[in-house]
Amino acid sequence: MYEWPRPEASDRDHDTIEGGRLMSEWRGEKREYLRMGTDTFFALEDSDWLTFQRDPAGRVTGYIYYYPDGQSIPVKKIP
């Protein structure tokens, strides 16, 4: 689970791997992200993308969510 920098519990993103595909569920909406690179994925329905961030041991610690207009939002992984 990943937490956006907003105070509402509904702003938690649940990412899962289903049949080898990265699926994201946020605010009740589920969509697939397709691989662009090793840790970078994009959504077919939008022009957004995300890049997972890792610690020195290679564990995912969160991701950066990129909007088409150039804005980006750091999103933390919740243990």
User: For 46-68, how does the pLDDT look when each residue is reduced to its tens digit (9 = 90+)?
Assistant: 888 999 999 999 999 999 999 88
Per-residue confidence band for 10, with pLDDT thresholds at 50, 70 and 90: low
Spell out the domains of the chain, with CATH numbers in brackets.
Answer: 2-77 (2.40.128.50)
Token pair for residue 58?
């290679």
Question: Is residue 2 within 8 Å of residue 62, measured between CB atoms?
Answer: yes
Write b or e for each residue in 46-63: b if 16 or more Cβ atoms lie within 10 A of its Cβ, otherwise e.
eeebbbbbeeeeeeeebb
45, pLDDT greater than 90: no
The pLDDT value given to residue 17:
86
How does residue 14 score in pLDDT terms, banded at 50, 70 and 90?
A: confident
pTM: 0.80
- pLDDT, residue 12, reads 75
- Percent of the chain residues past pLDDT 70, beyond the cut: 94
